[in-house]
Amino acid sequence: MLTKKPLNSLSQLQGPKGLPVLGNILQIDLQRLHSILEEWSGIYGDIYKFKIANKTVVAISNPALIQNILRDRPETYRRVSSIERVARELEIHGVFSAEGEQWQRQRQLTMQAFKPEHLRRFFPTVRKITDRLKNRWSKIADSGQFIDVQKDWMRFTVDVTTNLAFGYDINLLEQENDYFQRHLERLLPAFNRRTNAPFPYWHFVKLPSDRAMEKSLAVIKETIHEFVQQTRQRLAQQPEKTVQPANFLEALLLAHDENGVRLSDADIQGNIITILLAGEDTTAHTLAWLLYLITGHPEVQHKMQQEADTVLGPETMPPDISVVEKLNYIEAVAHETMRLKSVTPLLFMEPNRDVELAGVTIPKGTFLMLVNRYGALQEENFTDAHEFKPERWLESNPASCIHNRNASIPFGAGPRFCPGRNLALLEIKMAMAMLCRNFSVTRADTGLPVQEIFSFTMMPDKLIVKFAAR
């Protein structure tokens, strides 16, 4: 049997045919970018190429290759350089967009906010915010109205994240003022558009969405500046706080290297914006997708309710973090949601030097799009891959079932594994335990399917639900 001769040149890679000058740009809808690349993976295989104008992009959907790339960061691979360039230009450069030594220094500081002992101290705050969400939904349930649940999840996660970041209780759930939230929501779509643009068009002509985003960013920066000034004054008056920072901002303000050099104001601003965007956006979208799935599978919702009733007893929500840790089925539902509806279906990378991937020489600086979710939807990695089966994540899952955990990596992998994983799971399990103990939820029949919308993260479009008190 003849063996296929290995590829050795980028030019030999297959991919969708494009047009001169434009490449495949007319075939790409940024809001559907992830699903388009997944469709092309099914046609052209684990590694293929396409063009955005004159820029060659290599798409990779093989889980083993993706794992290797993520493990070889930051030495061999980095986030695509346009992410750092756009972040610096917008003055929101932080640990997410940083590379090399700068990333290593900022990563150590960021991890302080997510240590298990800090999350245990933070638990009463999460519980207080979850109680507000319960009270809000109780009123909505009494009224019998349908709501766009995505907005409530964003209020919930913004309240949690601003408390973690600043130690400030913005309380969007009770105040009904989503002014700050609306400004945050404008950032990621604009960031996605600029990092994937074939050229920096906004240097020449700014679209209305660009101007709106820049106005929102100015408001966010001014808000952060006020918090920084207030926190500096408080720390100066309470030097004992230097022993144990109470929130992420205090940790950033007190941090210094071995020479006593502290973070610059730009570093502090960039990291605060990073934690705000990463903390509220991805978790809110995951919670929304979870509701989408359990409203389509009432038997799963019923099992979640049974677990919440058993574990919580007379409580309306987990009274302490040890109770949260007992919610095994609810956590399995969360993992299955993140497998089917990963809010990070794409990762954007480039090699720091010439590399070889699957027998293909990839030049330094080539734009790599890691099609992160594709492998999790393949039968070779998960039995009944397109079915919603939370049981697959439990210890009782039959050994005969295929379950390749390396093919589902919603928090990434390798050295740059998401530091906020534990906080995200805490929020998800707290919120879902409260929901299942107190309410049943159904989805409105709008006559239209709930769409996947990609704007750097993936969210549901128009998820309308109704709560009923149990």
Range of the domain at 419: 10-379+387-469
393: DSSP letter: G
Rounded distance between C-alpha atoms, residue 123 and residue 398, angstroms: 35
CB 467 within 8 A of CB 167: no
Displacement of CA 239 from its chain's centroid (Å): 35
User: Could you tell me if residue 228 is inside a domain?
Assistant: yes
User: Could you tell me if residue 152 is inside a domain?
Assistant: yes
User: Could you tell me if residue 298 is inside a domain?
Assistant: yes
Cα separations in angstroms, 95 against 88, 124, 283, 295: 12, 27, 18, 36
**Strand ranges for 304-390 from DSSP E:** 346-351, 355-357, 360-362, 367-371
Q: Whose CA is closest to 284, among 182, 162, 424? A: 424
Residue 453 forms beta bridges with which residues?
459
Burial of 157 (0-12, 13-18, 19+ CB in 10 A): buried
User: Could you tell me if residue 1 is inside a domain?
Assistant: no
b/e 402-422 (16+ beta carbons within 10 angstroms → b)? eeeeebbbbbbbbebebbbee
What pLDDT is attached to residue 6?
55
User: Could you tell me if residue 2 is inside a domain?
Assistant: no
Number of independent structural domains in the chain: 1
Domain harbouring 294, CATH code? 1.10.630.10
CB 343 within 8 A of CB 375: no
Rounded distance between C-alpha atoms, residue 234 and residue 223, angstroms: 17
Q: List, edge to edge, every strand of the sheet that includes 367-371.
A: 47-52, 55-60, 367-371, 346-351, 77-79
Residue 49 forms beta bridges with which residues?
58
User: Could you tell me if residue 109 is inside a domain?
Assistant: yes
Provide block-wise average pLDDT over 10 residues at a time, the chain (470 residues). Answer: 59 93 93 97 96 94 97 94 92 86 77 78 94 97 94 93 87 81 84 86 93 92 90 80 72 73 82 82 95 98 98 96 97 98 96 94 96 97 97 86 94 89 95 98 92 93 95
What pLDDT is attached to residue 155?
92
User: Could you tell me if residue 328 is inside a domain?
Assistant: yes
User: Could you tell me if residue 3 is inside a domain?
Assistant: no
26: DSSP letter: G
Rounded distance between C-alpha atoms, residue 241 and residue 254, angstroms: 9
State pTM to two decimals: 0.91
Q: Which two tokens stand for residue 464?
A: 């309308």
Residue 280 forms beta bridges with which residues?
none
Rounded distance between C-alpha atoms, residue 189 and residue 186, angstroms: 6
What pLDDT is attached to residue 3?
44
Q: Whose CA is closest to 80, among 370, 382, 326, 457? A: 370
